[in-house]
Amino acid sequence: MKRSSSGLNCLLALDKPYGLTSHDVVGKARRLLGERRIGHAGTLDPAATGVLVLGVGQATRLMGMLTLDDKRYEACIAFGTETATDDAEGEVICTAEVPERLAEEAVAAAVVASLVGPCEQVPPAYSAISVDGRRAYDRARAGEEVSLPTRSVTIHEASLLGVERRDGVLVWRCAFHVSKGTYIRSIARDLGRSMGTAAHLCELRRTSSGPIAIDGCLTLDELEQLGASGVLSRALDPVRALAHPSHELNDYEREAVSVGRPFGCRTVVTATGERRSPNEGERISLVDGPKLMGVWEERGGRLACVANFPEGISGVR
């Protein structure tokens, strides 16, 4: 049976549970909210948990506009084995002795801290990267040899949270702040190799995606309890999520926006509260009270439409 529209237009942050794909979470959200128009930004593997941003209703159109470039994770890295997928879900393809010194917290802390900075990284063969029109993981599962090019990424911060043993296996608990496109699985794999042993990622939790942190996330149980009638109280502020300067519409501008007519704008407000003129080529979030009505761009002294949201996206604070 075709689902009807809930009338909701908002951004939500969910704490994705272990074992579900990002698509599974979207499916559950659709059923719980009675809304077919739901999409997600920033895919998480089934074995990973944490921040997953959903767009509901017209907010699905924001998914491609959210930068969410920097991510923060808490990760557990197990030493002694490397797997085909670089995480605990894959077949073990290599085993190696683990040097005793890696169990020393001072050594582990120094090694993890040394990872900070720009680097070249080879993504996992089992990843969603497209290779000649097919996902790398589809090729890998079909038994094909997958060779992905290196990519430039940046590890902004890296710290050791602890060293422990799990059923005799040495595990490092780490925190990472990384640039968009960084694979923590690859960090784990490469860390093992650089230490003269083998390693894989055995646990991963995304604690933030861009400006959206785990403490602002809903669980699926909370989403079910709130339902469509109560979920707006937990909606994300779309202006903050987009990280664009904003402009509050007056009556004249509201009418111009409704028909997509460019108009001059002298003042925008930045995330820090600074009031200034818009810069050429800069995108501006247009707001009307508690709703985001459009994303427009400064072009030659006038704002021109990039995207309009006739119903308005709720959550502006």
Q: What is the pLDDT of residue 127?
A: 72
Q: Tokens standing for 308?
A: 């309009």
Strand 81-83 and strand 92-95: pairing? antiparallel
- Domains of the chain, residue spans: 10-67+211-236, 71-209, 239-314
Q: What is the pLDDT of residue 132?
A: 67
Please tell me what DSSP assigns to residue 232: G
pLDDT tens for the chain, 317 residues: list them: 344 578 999 999 999 999 999 999 999 999 999 999 999 998 898 999 999 999 999 999 999 999 888 999 999 999 999 999 999 999 999 999 999 999 999 999 999 999 999 999 998 887 777 766 777 777 767 777 777 889 999 999 999 999 999 999 999 999 999 999 899 999 999 999 999 999 999 999 999 999 999 999 999 999 999 999 999 999 999 999 999 999 999 999 999 999 999 999 999 999 999 999 999 999 999 999 999 999 999 999 999 999 999 999 999 99
What amino acid positions are annotated as catalytic residues? 45
Residue 175's beta-bridge partner residues? 74, 159
Q: What is the pLDDT of residue 1?
A: 38
Q: Tokens standing for 116?
A: 């900070």
Q: Tokens standing for 239?
A: 């202006």
Assign domain 71-209 to its CATH superfamily: Pseudouridine synthase (3.30.2350.10)
Q: Tokens standing for 74?
A: 């808490």
Residue 67's beta-bridge partner residues? none
The closest alpha carbon to 267, from 288, 243, 286, belongs to 286
Q: Do domains 71-209 and 239-314 have the same CATH topology?
A: no
Q: What is the reported pTM?
A: 0.90
Q: DSSP of 37-72, one letter per residue?
A: -EEEES---TTEEEEEEEEEGGGGGGTTT-----EE
Q: DSSP of 189-225, one letter per residue?
A: HHHHHHTTS-EEEEEEEEEEETTEEGGGPBPHHHHHH
* CATH, domain range 239-314: 2.30.130
Assign domain 10-67+211-236 to its CATH superfamily: Pseudouridine synthase (3.30.2350.10)
- Helices 220-230, 22-33: crossing angle, 10 deg rounding: 40
* Pure H helices in 117-166: 136-141
Q: What is the pLDDT of residue 258?
A: 95
